[in-house]
Structures are given as structure tokens and as C-alpha cells.
Amino acid sequence: MTGIFRSSTADLSTTVTWALMTSVICWACSIKANGVLGWLKGFTEPVVVMTPMNLVSEIAQPISMAFRHFGNIAGGNVLTSLVYSALATASAALLGLVGKSIAIGILILLGGVALLVLGVRKKKLAYKIFGAVFAATGILSLLGLAGVPYLEVGIPGIMSLYFDVFSGGVQALVFSLLTMVYVSNACPPPEEG
């Protein structure tokens, strides 16, 4: 939201470290449960011909986990940047147009108030939000503060909050759940006798 900080998982080194730790935990659990020879024998199952594919699968697991998590967060950062740029252009165009005429400022203010009233009557959040934005634009224009690029502050801030906090947290949860699945597959529970 500040433009200074970014999600730690938008850095590939963080996700690679997580993925390598997951793989090491899986290997350690499997070695603990089956012994070193049993773990190595597991690469030859179900048939010996599958050994190369099983080795590739062990190498691909951390790579897949690291890039999946990194890609989701980095993609969110790219989307936020693109929306921010588009809103900067829209803000400059809109506020430049509004700042040139008091009549346009009054029309935008009245339209915003009308949307706010309609939003309250119909209980529609979108009407309330757009009404507040238009009313604020009209007021800024009438006060001579039409150069404030407020479109660049609110919407990218909300998107950044989503991608950095919520999505980063959800991705970390998914990563943890995948780790638990991989560890449980590497070290199944003992059979009941």
C-alpha cells in the first residue's frame, strides 16, 4: 500500500527456501520411517523402469512449489502496477477536465450526491462508493484542489492490501497444506494391528 514494502513471497528466494525445506522434511520423514535403503528402494516402485521418472518427480516437487507460490504473488504485484498506471492516467485526465470548469465540478458533485442517495435507498454498496468518489471529485474541484490524484491512492491501496496481505496469507496456507500432504505421503501412519 505504501509502495515501499512488498510481500516477502514476491521474492523467489523466499519461496525456494520454503520448497527446499519441505523437500528436506519429506525426505527426512521417509528415511526415518523406512531407513536409507528403504527410501532409496522407494524410487524403484512400482517397477524399476520408473526410477528415472521418480527421481525427476522428486526434483520437480520443490521447483513446482517455489514457482507456483512466487508466480501468484508476483503476478498480483504486476496487476496492481498496471491498474495503478491506468488509474494515474484516468486521474490526470479526469481531474484535469474537472479543474477547468466550475460548472463541471458542480455537475459531478450533484451526480455524486444523487448516486449516494440512490445507494442508501437501494442499499447498494457500489452506488455509495461511486457516489462518494464523484462527490469528492466535485468538492475538490470547487475548492480548487482538482490536482489531487486521489484515484491513484484508494483503488491501488485496496488491491495491494489484497495481494500482499490476504493473497500472501492464503498462498502461505496453501503452501503449508501442500507440505503436510507431501510429508504425510512420505511417512504414512502406521497400520493398526
Residue 147 falls inside a structural domain: yes
Model confidence pLDDT, tens digit, residues 133-186: 888 877 877 777 665 566 666 666 666 666 666 666 777 777 778 778 877 877
Residue 127 falls inside a structural domain: yes
Higher pLDDT, 45 or 4: 45
Residue 163 falls inside a structural domain: yes
Model confidence pLDDT, tens digit, residues 26-35: 888 888 888 8
Model confidence pLDDT, tens digit, residues 79-118: 777 877 777 777 767 666 655 667 777 887 888 899 889 9
Rg of the chain (C-alpha set): 27
The cell 515501499 sits on which residue? 4
**Structural domain harbouring 17:** 11-186
How many domains, in total, are found in the chain?
A: 1
Rounded mean pLDDT of 51-79?
83
Residue 63 falls inside a structural domain: yes
Residue 148 falls inside a structural domain: yes
